Amino acid sequence: MPTQENNDDRIALLQGTLDLLILKTLVIGPCHGQGVARSIQRQSEEVLFVDHGSLYIALQRLEDKKWIRAKWGVSENNRRARYYHLTPKGREQLTEKATQWKRLTEAMERILEPGTGPAGEEA
Amino acid sequence: MFGRRRKIEDFAEEIKAHMAIEAEDLREEGRSAEEAQWEARRVFGNVRAAQEQFYLRGRWQWLDRMMGDLRFGIRSLLQSPGFAFTAILTVAMGVGANTAVFSVMNAVLLRSLPVADPARVVYVRPSNPPDNTGTIETDETVSHSVYAELREQTKAIQPLMAYVPLSAGKVAVRTGAEPEEAEGEMVSGQFFSGLGVGMADGRGFSEQDETDNAPLAVLSYNYWTRRFGRDPGVVGKTFYVNGVPMTIVGVAAQGFEGAEAGHSTDFWIPLQNRPELNAYANPPDDGKLYIANPKWWCMRLIGRLAPGVSKAQALAQLQPVFQSAAYVGVGNPHPGEKLPVLRLLDAKNFPGYEDMYGKPLRVLMMMVGLVLLIALSNVAMLLMARNAARQREFSVRLALGATKSILLRQLLIESLLLVTGGGILAWVFAVFASRALGAWAQIETSLAPDETVMLFAFGLLVLAALVFGLAPLRVAMSAGATSAMKTTQATAHADAGRSRTGRVVVVLQMMLCVVLLVGAGLLVRTLRNLENTPLGMSVDGLVVFGVKPNTQALAETNAFYRELMGKLRVLPGVEDVTIMEERLGTGWSDNSDMLVDGKLPDVANGSSRTVRSNVVGPDFFTTLGVPVLMGRDFNQSDTMTSPHAGIVNQEFVDRFLHGQNPLGHRIGPTGIKWDMEIVGVVKNHKYRSITEDPIPMAWYMYAQIPVLSEMNVELRVHGNPLAILPTAGKALAQIDPNLPLIQPIEQRAQYETTIAQQMLFARLAGFFGLLAVVLVATGLYGTLAYRVHMRTAEIGVRMAVGAQRGQVVWMVLRHSLVLTGLGIGLGIPLAVLLGRALSTSLYGVQPLDVGTYGMVLAGVMVVALAASALPAARAARVDPLKALRTE
């Protein structure tokens, strides 16, 4: 288990969200692991923190499920890297998971908004 | 590609690539090269953890871990092969011996008769048969007429079946040209169908077959296998029994070998009605065969309770029928004669076996149980000692990050390995041992281990695993990462060296050892007494076999034996030849009261008038080597026409003709008008068995009596007695090629069959006693050696401050002597109890035999001293300087 402590403002990822983020990142095009991590961090404006160990395990898991494919290639700076592609199955999963996620967040908001949520947050 | 597992190296490679790219990015962001590399690594976090997670992905983790533990356990056991070997062998001996004895006990005492629904099957047995009848077994057999009456008149037992052997031993059979012998039985038509015994091939018998006395035969599965190699074409073949052709119609289901305990029947035929196939191969009595003779009670009955009828109801219905049927054709009961009574016995567990083998087997089971206790406690102690000595190893491993649960798991796996190894070896051992046991005990029933035996063995192994599991538990619980590392050798092991558990176990082992040795000693002395019992003859060089001539008329039979003896007498190597009706040393004898000079002799204060008799040939006592005290032996001039000659033994004279010259007195059996003159007196000797007491005996000359049939031939030969058999067989074949030599055996071996069970019992007990001693010695040695090893530093200190070597040796010896003394003190009372329980199995030795006790005590002391000598010597050799320097 990583002993890094999460003592900054960044938020550790909820379980299951990492898969979604990876799939979303790969929609743009093939990418290696480090690129995926950077991309997630950058796009979330450094709010989300990706544990690299978990990232690679997740990549492997998605590969095992045949949602993504991987092959060794060469990076822009001429370094060997393992590139991940989205498979058609992965694309389907992305749509499905994204929908699920939206419904979840909408539901969460509906519960949080009318209650103590806004008051607490603005206070 | 697909489906192939990605290698962990590839994953590591990817992570490395990740760090390189990350570092490059960081450098581009303006960090120094070194800083960038550090940062990349820091951000990534725990690489090992990620790799481990990758490794574990999709694996059966417990299996993986188990394999690791197994490998570790095997490695660690291989590091001390002596320990592993001893432990596995000990487990194998303990569990194997128990399994072997149990499988015999299971086959003999616990297993059911292999029939359908055995709980409804009962043996139908009489007691108090009418006075005028002759029986095979007073409490077991009835006449054919009783069987017929019972079957006709009762519905409570449906069906009622009868069976009777064709001979007390084997009968002559033939399929090809060569005569052979086999055990055969005549059975009623519903025998197989009524018992619910299936057929492996062909069919069984029908009621019609019984009515017709049909010439059919059913083979036992065992005989079919042994003699015919499971030939599928055996049904339909002709099978000659005493020269009578029978057609084989079936093979009985595997495992069924007849309804009687301890016998394995080779073939069955329907009840017959012809003189060649009379029950027990007897000559017709008064012209009557068993089937027409209400006075000869020779058949056994077994039946199935009708549906819904209880045993008590069935008995109530049968009893009056039986009591009137018993007297049909027998005559009215004498005044005051006890009425015959019928009994129904559960057939479930072979009732006969309980009497024969119940007690010895239970005692043996108890003995092997004690051996097992000693064995298990031995291994547990060894394990504890080993683990205590590994205290440091455990501490180091704990310090390096192993958890206590991992330690415990690995120790349990080690124990499990020992149990598994021991278990496999035990099973092999048990299979061989139970086979040997069955052969020695002459138990013909199949002893192949069944599920019950397997369950029993498995239970023992689980018990062993539990006991061995407890040993490491304690160590694992007490071990701490720091304790053993900080402390010195001396203090760390002080507790272990003085372990109270170890002492208690040694004392208990000693106690059990004393009990086992006393039991074994008493039985071995019994065996020696039995083997050295004088038989009253010179038995070496004698060989005996049976012959059943196919002759009808008395004169013809007489001529047959005369010719046979003539042919045998001239064979090279043959010294003497004679014949006898009852073979010596089989337990059989003819018994009757005898008239002396026309009246029943007076006997002192109610002692028995029973005389054992035999029908024998010329030169009988010369051949046996029994001294003739007065008068003469039988000879060839005693013939049909010469005056009837009889010979008696010393006991006969002492009891019935005390103080008189016995020669010339006339004696004869009660009941018929036939007598003979005493022409000789011989020394007392053994007739039926080795253990019998002297009893009055009388001998008839075969050529002078009115009935003659199967006889046994006794040959005295030079050299190996059994070597004469082929030539003797040829000599017999010259007279009649159909006749086999029936059950040929050396006369000494024949006598020994009467003590086979005691011999087996004693040998086994001796073996287990020895096993116990060896185990206890190793246990004691192990404990002491370990204690000395642990106390090396302490001994060093003692010697440094002035203790003499002698004192150190005495310290060790005293310890073992105290333990031995305690063990003996506790063991003797238990041994006395065991001796009392054994008293009926002893011969010529008292349960409190001083010699045996003395030997046992001396033996135990010697073993204790021998086991302590090595550790004591080692203690004496401790170099105080070295011992202290290791601190």
Q: What is the pLDDT of residues B289-312, one digit of tens each?
A: 998 988 888 899 999 999 989 989
Q: Which of residues 9-28 of B touch A (CB under 8 A)?
A: 11, 13-15, 17-18, 20-22, 24-25
What are the tens digits of pLDDT across the range B587-606?
Answer: 878 888 888 998 888 877 66
Of B4-8, B121-125, B170-174, B723-727, the poorest mean pLDDT is in B4-8
Sheet holding A80-86, edge to edge: A31-32, A80-86, A68-74
| Distance, CA of B881 to CA of B887 (rounded, Å) | 10
Contact at CB, B50 and A35, closer than 8 angstroms: no
What's the pLDDT at A3? 42
| Set of chain A residues whose Cβ sits within 8 Å of the Cβ of B22 | 34
Contact at CB, B45 and A57, closer than 8 angstroms: no
Tell which of B9, B11, B21, B55 to mutate to test the A interface (max A CBs under 10 Å). B21
Structure tokens at B67: 């394999």
Q: Could you write out the DSSP letters of every residue in B796-858?
A: HHHHHTT--HHHHHHHHHHHHHHHHHHHHHHHHHHHHHHHHHHGGG-SSS-TT-HHHHHHHHH
Average pLDDT estimate for B440-456 = 69
The residues, ordered by sequence, that sit 6+ positions from B416 with a Cβ below 8 Å of its Cβ are B73, B465
| Distance, CA of B796 to CA of B798 (rounded, Å) | 5
What are the tens digits of pLDDT across the range A49-92?
Answer: 778 888 888 888 888 888 999 888 888 778 888 999 999 999 99
| Distance, CA of A33 to CA of A120 (rounded, Å) | 38
pTM for this model (two decimals): 0.64
Average pLDDT estimate for B565-590 = 91
- Phi and psi of B253, rounded to 5°? -60, 150
| Distance, CA of B107 to CA of B450 (rounded, Å) | 9
| Set of chain B residues whose Cβ sits within 8 Å of the Cβ of A69 | none
The residues, ordered by sequence, that sit 6+ positions from B208 with a Cβ below 8 Å of its Cβ are B189, B214
What's the pLDDT at B61? 63
| Distance, CA of B787 to CA of B663 (rounded, Å) | 79
Q: Cβ–Cβ contacts within 10 Å for residue B359, how many?
A: 15
Residue B350, classified by CB atoms within 10 Å of its CB into exposed (0-12), middle (13-18) or buried (19+), is: buried
Contact at CB, A53 and B53, closer than 8 angstroms: yes
pLDDT at A23 over 50: yes
B447, B353 Cβ separation under 8 angstroms: no
By the CB < 8 Å criterion, does B570 face chain A?
no
Average pLDDT estimate for B109-128 = 81
Average pLDDT estimate for B854-859 = 90
Report the candidate in B252, B254, B269, B164 with the shortest Cα–Cα distance to residue B202: B252
**What end-to-end distance do the CA atoms of chain A give, in Å?**
37
pLDDT band at A14 (very low <50, low <70, confident <90, very high): low
Contact at CB, B57 and A57, closer than 8 angstroms: yes
| Distance, CA of A68 to CA of B372 (rounded, Å) | 62
Per DSSP, the three-state class of B499 is coil
Q: What is the mean pLDDT of chain B?
A: 84
Of B13, B14, B45, the CB nearest to A51: B45
| Set of chain A residues whose Cβ sits within 8 Å of the Cβ of B49 | 1-2, 53
What b/e string do you get for B600-630 counting C-beta neighbours within 10 Å, with b at 16 or more? Answer: ebeeeeeeebebbbbbbbbbbbbbbbbeeeb
pLDDT at B887 over 80: no
Question: Which residue in B has a C-alpha nearest to residue A33's C-alpha?
Answer: B18
The maximal CA–CA distance of chain A, rounded, in angstroms, is 54
Q: Is the pLDDT higher at B53 or at B275?
A: B275
What are the tens digits of pLDDT across the range B180-195?
Answer: 889 999 999 999 999 8
What's the pLDDT at A97? 87
Q: Could you write out the DSSP letters of every residue in B220-260?
A: -HHHHHHHHTT-TT-TT-EEEETTEEEEEEEEEPTT---SS
What are the tens digits of pLDDT across the range B359-407?
Answer: 777 888 888 888 888 888 888 888 877 777 777 777 788 788 777 777 7
Q: Is the pLDDT higher at B474 or at B95?
A: B95
Strand partners, B285: B288
| Distance, CA of B563 to CA of B557 (rounded, Å) | 10
Of A2, A4, A33, the CB nearest to B18: A33
What's the pLDDT at B474? 64
Amino acid at the residue B855: M
The residues, ordered by sequence, that sit 6+ positions from B682 with a Cβ below 8 Å of its Cβ are B621, B626, B627, B628, B629, B647, B648, B649, B650
What's the pLDDT at B446? 59
Share of chain A above pLDDT 90, in %: 7
Contact at CB, B14 and A3, closer than 8 angstroms: no
| Set of chain B residues whose Cβ sits within 8 Å of the Cβ of A75 | 21
pLDDT at B449 over 80: no
Contact at CB, B24 and A3, closer than 8 angstroms: no
pLDDT band at B651 (very low <50, low <70, confident <90, very high): very high
Contact at CB, A52 and B54, closer than 8 angstroms: no
Q: Which of residues 49-88 of B touch A (CB under 8 A)?
A: 49-50, 53-54, 57-58
Amino acid at the residue B64: D
Contact at CB, B21 and A52, closer than 8 angstroms: no
User: Could you give the C-alpha distances from B749 to B746, B753, B754, B887, in angstroms and in order?
Assistant: 5, 6, 9, 68
B392, B488 Cβ separation under 8 angstroms: no
Tell which of B5, B8, B10, B46 to mutate to test the A interface (max A CBs under 10 Å). B46
Per DSSP, the three-state class of B338 is coil
Of A60, A77, A82, the CB nearest to B54: A60
What's the pLDDT at B644? 95
The residues, ordered by sequence, that sit 6+ positions from B722 with a Cβ below 8 Å of its Cβ are B543, B744, B746
Q: Cβ–Cβ contacts within 10 Å for residue B485, how many?
A: 14
Contact at CB, B14 and A1, closer than 8 angstroms: no
| Distance, CA of A75 to CA of B836 (rounded, Å) | 94
| Set of chain B residues whose Cβ sits within 8 Å of the Cβ of A79 | 17, 20-21, 24
pLDDT at B492 over 50: no
| Set of chain A residues whose Cβ sits within 8 Å of the Cβ of B6 | 60, 63
Of A35-39, A93-97, B351-355, B824-828, the poorest mean pLDDT is in B351-355
User: Could you give the C-alpha distances from B353 to B107, B348, B360, B729, in angstroms and in order?
Assistant: 10, 11, 11, 36
Contact at CB, B21 and A51, closer than 8 angstroms: no
Share of chain B above pLDDT 70, in %: 92
Per DSSP, the three-state class of B148 is helix
By the CB < 8 Å criterion, does B439 face chain A?
no
Tell which of A1, A56, A89 to mutate to test the B interface (max B CBs under 10 Å). A56
What are the tens digits of pLDDT across the range B58-80?
Answer: 666 667 777 888 888 888 888 88
Share of chain B above pLDDT 90, in %: 29
Average pLDDT estimate for B684-710 = 90
Contact at CB, B57 and A61, closer than 8 angstroms: yes
pLDDT band at A4 (very low <50, low <70, confident <90, very high): very low
Report the candidate in B8, B124, B119 with the shortest Cα–Cα distance to residue B59: B8
pLDDT at B486 over 70: no
Structure tokens at B569: 């007498």
Of B219-233, B331-345, B736-750, the poorest mean pLDDT is in B331-345
pLDDT at A118 over 50: no
Of B543-552, B813-822, B836-845, the poorest mean pLDDT is in B836-845
Average pLDDT estimate for B325-332 = 83
B859, B516 Cβ separation under 8 angstroms: no
| Set of chain B residues whose Cβ sits within 8 Å of the Cβ of A33 | 14, 18
B872, B813 Cβ separation under 8 angstroms: yes
User: Could you give the C-alpha distances from B533 to B322, B748, B808, in angstroms and in order?
Assistant: 45, 12, 51
pLDDT band at A39 (very low <50, low <70, confident <90, very high): confident
